[in-house]
């Protein structure tokens, strides 16, 4: 502290064993942090030392099954005895707050244990075991996802994300394409549904090596990589979608749950929904839409393409088919699609479907579906339901997309906020927000196009263009702040009127 600022110490904290060396003389074990930890470590027996060292590969904690996987002992009870001993000796921490025991260690202890693992010569084998353990969890976790207990799979993803990241990075760096591809694809699949797009980049990283060896996961990697449009990488997303069509059309690859339909979303983002429609119909003709996801995508594609009657026809029977899957994600998205298709023809039934879908999405932990439903609900509530609820829904959508870095989603949600404000006769903020929200994708949304035309009429073209240009010039952060402020003002006025 005499020679460094707090910031300089923070920047060096990863090298804590060299940093925290005392200048005063005394007992050797008190001279450095390293010796203090070593003193505790030396009190362990060989089995305890080995498991502690091997457990250093975990990031963010671990459970008993994971400890067995890296510990080299297939005996759960024997491993649990060792873990219990390490907890009693304060080298591991046991957290039982979730109803299942999860172990972790202080970072200082973890770094020391990692040193011992490297010195033992077993580090590579243990890291391989760690990566393969998390690749091996795919079947169980995805079976959990494809069940009424879907929320548990999302919670597992959130808890294990740091381990998944570490496992993927190790496998990819070691050229273990099989392990890396498994982790990248199922982590990206789950991540998209909780608005965490990080694993999409893992899938992107593996495209070229997987293509070079014609890897069985190539199509799944392409589908997940194509979702990068959400974070503004639109050109790359279209490229993945184009390449994937060729791969999938060969019939030699499989994408789980019939999820190939989402690949075409990249075309909607660039204002070419007819290509999205064509792709969805081609996939339905192959008869592999096991979970109704491609039918859901087709309804959205037809809506973007302005084919309202065809969208309704595609939506008919969709809810029943989704219910038969017993999959909350499938059902919530089917209800969203029904609401999308019928929002003009039968707004009352559309509202009922959307409200039901929102409850299912929230209960199952599906943030992706929740925000889609909330955004569309805001526009219908503003015209046919509760304007205050409309503001709450759209705030949720904007905040979640913005916090997740989903730049395309932010524009989509803001385009519907412009619709809500137009219906509430808040024309100037509606025009300002519309200027920012305009894109090839939002231009195909019927409500938004109608709103822009109406704003031009009530404000006149020159006033609209001036306000829209102001919004277009704003950064995303500035626009979101502006939107929150305008929502608060609208809410205050509506509350005053209701009183």
Residue 66 burial (10 A CB sphere; 0-12, 13-18, 19+): buried
Structure tokens at 329: 């994600």
Predicted local confidence at residue 30, as pLDDT: 44
Interatomic CA distance for residues 432 and 308, integer angstroms: 28
CA 197, 264, 210, 232 torsion-angle sign: negative
User: How far is Cα 3 from Cα 121, in angstroms, rounded to an integer?
Assistant: 37
Please report the pLDDT score of residue 302 as a whole number. Answer: 97
Alpha-carbon distance values, 336 to 375, 377, 418, 432 (Å): 10, 9, 20, 28
For position 112, what pLDDT does the model report? 93
- Separation in Å, CA 359 to CA 251, 328, 336, 346, 406: 37, 10, 12, 20, 23
H or E segment to which residue 351 belongs = helix 347-364
For residue 288, the model assigns a pLDDT of 87
- Token pair for 358: 């929102």
Q: The whole model's pTM is what?
A: 0.90
Q: What is the pLDDT of residue 10?
A: 66
| pLDDT for the residue numbered 14 | 60
Residue tagged 């999205």 (tokens): 276
Closest CA to 136 of 69, 77, 198: 69
Task: Residue 483: name the closest of 417, 392, 431 by CA.
Answer: 417
Between the alpha carbon of residue 19 and those of residues 3, 7, 107, the distances in Å are: 12, 14, 15
What is the spatial distance between Cα 316 and Cα 324, in angstroms, rounded to a whole number? 15
Q: Can you give the pLDDT at residue 97? A: 87
C-alpha 380/C-alpha 387 separation (Å) is: 9
Task: Write down the residue that tokens 């038969």 correspond to.
Answer: 324
Instruction: Name the token pair of 108.
Output: 């200082």
Residues (pLDDT < 50) of the chain are: 1, 19, 22-27, 29-30
DSSP-based three-state secondary structure for 289: coil
User: Strand 93-95 vs strand 102-104: parallel, antiparallel, or unpaired?
Assistant: antiparallel
Number of H helices, E strands in the chain: 28, 2
* Tokens encoding 453: 């035309």
Q: How far apart are CA 280 and CA 268, in angstroms?
A: 12
**Rounded Cα gap, residues 243 and 237, in angstroms:** 10
Residue 104 per-residue DSSP state: E
pLDDT, position 29: 45
**What was the pLDDT predicted at 39?**
83
Task: Determine the Cα angle at 179 with ends 177 and 185, to 5°.
Answer: 90
SS3 at position 95: strand
Cβ neighbourhood burial of 175 (10 Å; 0-12, 13-18, 19+)? exposed
Q: Could you give the CA distance from residue 478 to residue 311 in angstroms, rounded to a whole number?
A: 36
User: Which run of H or of E encompasses 35?
Assistant: helix 33-42
Element (DSSP H or E) covering residue 79: helix 76-88
In this structure, are residues 50 and 113 in contact, taking their beta carbons and an 8 Å threshold? no
Domains contained in the chain, CATH given = 6-121 (1.10.10.10), 386-499 (no CATH)
Distances (CA, A) of 425 to 28, 278, 292, 409, 451: 75, 38, 39, 24, 11
Residue 37: what pLDDT? 84
Rounded to whole angstroms, the Cα distance separating 185 from 17 reads: 37
Q: What's the CA angle centered on 267, arms 277 and 213, to 5 degrees?
A: 100
């Amino acid at each position: 502290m005499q020679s460094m600022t707090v910031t300089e110490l923070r920047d060096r904290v990863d090298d804590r064993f060299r940093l925290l060396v005392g200048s005063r003389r005394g007992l050797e074990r008190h001279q450095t942090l390293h010796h203090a930890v070593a003193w505790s470590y030396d009190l362990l027996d060989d089995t305890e030392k080995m498991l502690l060292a091997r457990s250093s590969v975990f990031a963010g904690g671990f459970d008993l099954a994971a400890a067995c996987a890296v510990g080299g002992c297939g005996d759960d009870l024997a491993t649990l005895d060792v873990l219990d001993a390490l907890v009693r000796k304060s080298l591991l921490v046991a957290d039982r707050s979730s109803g299942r025991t999860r172990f972790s260690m202080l970072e200082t202890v973890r770094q020391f244990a990692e040193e011992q693992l490297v010195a033992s010569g077993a580090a590579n084998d243990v890291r391989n075991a760690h990566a393969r353990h998390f690749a091996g969890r795919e079947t169980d976790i995805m079976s959990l996802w494809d069940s009424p207990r879907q929320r548990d799979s999302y919670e597992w993803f959130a808890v294990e994300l740091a381990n998944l990241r570490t496992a993927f990075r190790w496998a990819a760096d070691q050229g273990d394409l099989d392990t890396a591809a498994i982790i990248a694809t199922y982590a990206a699949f789950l991540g998209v549904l909780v608005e965490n797009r990080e694993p999409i980049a893992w899938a992107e990283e593996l495209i070229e090596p997987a293509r070079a060896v014609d890897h069985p996961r190539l199509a799944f990697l392409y589908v997940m990589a194509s979702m990068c449009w959400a974070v503004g990488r639109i050109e790359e997303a279209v490229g993945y979608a184009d390449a994937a069509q060729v791969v999938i059309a060969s019939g030699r690859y499989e994408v789980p749950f019939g999820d190939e339909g989402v690949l075409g979303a990249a075309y909607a983002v660039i204002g070419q929904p007819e290509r999205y429609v064509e792709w969805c119909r081609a996939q339905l003709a192959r008869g592999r839409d096991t979970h109704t996801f491609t039918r859901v995508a087709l309804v959205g594609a037809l809506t973007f393409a302005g084919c309202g009657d065809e969208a309704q026809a595609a939506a008919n029977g969709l809810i029943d088919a989704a219910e038969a899957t017993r999959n909350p994600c499938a059902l919530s998205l089917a209800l969203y699609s029904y609401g999308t298709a019928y929002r003009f023809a039968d707004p009352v039934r559309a509202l009922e479907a959307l409200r039901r879908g929102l409850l299912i999405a929230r209960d199952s932990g599906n943030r992706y579906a929740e925000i889609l439903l909330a955004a569309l609900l805001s526009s219908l509530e503003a015209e046919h339901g509760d304007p205050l609820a409309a503001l709450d829904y759209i705030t949720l959508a904007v905040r979640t997309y913005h916090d997740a870095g989903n730049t395309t989603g932010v524009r989509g949600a803001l385009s519907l906020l412009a619709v809500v404000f137009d219906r509430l006769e808040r024309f100037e903020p509606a025009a300002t927000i519309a200027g920012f929200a305009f894109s090839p994708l939002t231009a195909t949304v019927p409500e938004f196009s109608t709103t822009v035309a109406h704003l031009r009429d009530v404000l006149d073209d020159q006033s609209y263009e001036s306000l829209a240009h102001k919004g277009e010039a704003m950064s995303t952060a500035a626009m979101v702040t502006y939107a929150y402020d305008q929502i608060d003002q609208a809410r205050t006025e509506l509350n005053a009127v209701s009183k």
